[in-house]
Amino acid sequence: MDGGHGLSIGAGVQAHRDGAEAAFPQPAFSPPPLHERHGRLSRNRQTGKVGGISKRLFDMVAAGGALLVLSPILGGIWLAVRLESPGPGFFRQRRGGFQGRPFFIYKFRTMRTCEDRTISQAKQGDDRTTRLGKFLRKNSIDELPQLINVLLGDMSIVGPRPHALAHDRQFSTVDRRYCGRHHARPGITGLAQVSGSRGPTDTRDKIVQRMEHDLRYVSNWSWRMDINILMRTVLVVFRDRDAF
């Protein structure tokens, strides 16, 4: 339920707001892939997923139930996206998951496909966004296919929002603590998104601010925190109409 950037499937690429490319010079430091660094860590010390089995069981029940109830609506949205503009109904992109391991995230496509393979952020008034896409983004409906990711075990209902792999590598050069956020499954919503850090991470300060919220979540997880985030998410979705 946040920032925009992305790659299209098959035909090309679309930008999506989540994990948008930061607009500042890249440092010379070039770290190894995140999943390799986490792999070395896990061989030295066993690292469990935040929330353990109980959180995973909740995710499976919640995601499975939501998909069952919403399936007619989701199918209608998928068809509407296909009819409005050429291209797939779903957009998918490789993101960094638990311990930095890549997975394909699913969203409803909200932009016209193009051949430019650069991962670029969505901007206010971006002419690539379709009319239906604007509505889906504004109401965070484009994120609902991520319930599939939750059911598959790639994501959780609540956790740090996943970024594109290129952005994970880039953001890790800003602060080496960044990889700590990968000790939890990425979420559809998270502490950062309900704490004012929703939207594109286009400056160093925004990257660090979001990272601080994510690290706080990983270090202090509790069921009380997850429930609080879910309740606040509902308020954010209905009150925040600045998404684009």
The tally of domains found in the chain comes to 1
**Residue 203 covered by a domain:** yes
Per-residue model confidence (pLDDT) at position 29: 42
Specify the pLDDT at position 5. 43
**Confidence grade of residue 60 (pLDDT, cut at 50, 70, 90):** very high
Answer whether residue 181 is part of any domain: yes
Q: How confident is the model over 160-171, as a mean pLDDT?
A: 93
Quick one: which H or E segment has residue 108?
A: strand 102-108
Domain contains 169: yes
Q: Given a cut of 60, is residue 133 above it in pLDDT? A: yes
Residue 244 lies in a domain: no
pTM of the model: 0.75
* Torsion sign, CA atoms 48, 52, 55, 58: positive
How confident is the model over 73-87, as pLDDT tens digits?
A: 999 999 999 999 999
pLDDT at 24 over 70: no
pLDDT digits (tens, 9 = 90+) for 196-231: 888 788 899 999 999 999 999 999 999 999 999 999
- Other residues' Cβ atoms within 10 Å of the Cβ of residue 181: 29
State how beta strands 187-189 and 156-158 pair: parallel
24 within domain boundaries: yes
Residues 91, 165: Cα–Cα separation, whole Å? 16
Contact predicate 94/74, CB 8 Å: no
Mean pLDDT rounded to a whole number for the chain:
81
Quick check: 158 pLDDT over 90? Answer: yes
For residue 181, what are the domain limits? 3-239
In a domain, 18, yes or no: yes
* Pair of tokens at residue 130: 């379709």
Instruction: Check residue 76 and give its pLDDT.
Output: 97
What distance lies between CA 208 and its chain's CA centroid?
A: 17
